[in-house]
């Protein structure tokens, strides 16, 4: 068992050394383009993720089965708590008619705290009726007549004055 763990750690170390050598050879002069830098960053991040997974797997291989199960259960519990909190936040947002950009800023651990914070945010930042939002009935476009080929104008339809008068409600 110890030989397998050492082998996994050695492999992770070898991958890190090879990666560092490749990255050092990729660096050219200061004029490297932004796209190349983004690709290198993306590759470095994916390699970092692979190494952290290999390190985690090596650590789990050292633990007895019961400890492995406890570790996995703790990780799943943490993930579940985060998902439950996000779910509660979305429920409050739907209940209050809140935009998701604003709902992401809700603070609180319980649904009641989230709801109270959501009401406070809506009182401060929600659009008021008549302030020029697109849901305001006064802002809705009035129905205009269709294009009539019998009227004068360059395309045989209404001229600009008739269109503007129609929009103004005259």
**Residue from 15, 11, 14, 83 nearest 46 by CA:** 15
Give Cα separations from 119 to 7, 108, 110, 125 (angstroms): 56, 12, 14, 10
Whole-model pTM: value is: 0.39
pLDDT confidence bin for 3, thresholds 50/70/90: very low
Cβ atoms of 139 and 133 within 8 Å: the answer is yes
User: What Rg value do the Cα atoms of the chain yield, rounded?
Assistant: 31
Mean local confidence (pLDDT), 102-130: 85
85-109: pLDDT as tens digits:
999 999 999 999 988 888 888 999 8
Residue 1 has pLDDT above 50, yes or no: no
């Amino acid at each position: 068992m110890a030989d397998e763990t050492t082998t996994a750690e050695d492999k992770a170390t070898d991958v890190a050394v090879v990666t560092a050598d490749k990255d050092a050879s990729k660096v050219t002069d200061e004029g490297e383009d932004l796209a190349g830098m983004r690709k290198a960053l993306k590759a470095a991040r994916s390699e970092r993720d692979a190494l952290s997974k290999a390190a985690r797997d090596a650590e789990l291989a050292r633990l007895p089965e019961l400890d492995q199960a406890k570790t996995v259960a703790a990780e799943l519990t943490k993930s579940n708590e985060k998902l439950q909190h996000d779910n509660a936040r979305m429920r409050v947002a739907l209940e209050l008619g809140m935009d998701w950009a604003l709902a992401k800023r809700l603070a609180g651990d319980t649904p009641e705290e989230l709801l109270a914070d959501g009401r406070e945010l809506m009182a401060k930042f929600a659009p008021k009726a008549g302030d020029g939002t697109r849901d305001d009935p006064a802002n809705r476009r009035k129905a205009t007549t269709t294009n009539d080929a019998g009227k004068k104008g360059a395309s045989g339809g209404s001229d600009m004055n008739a269109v503007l008068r129609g929009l103004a409600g005259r």
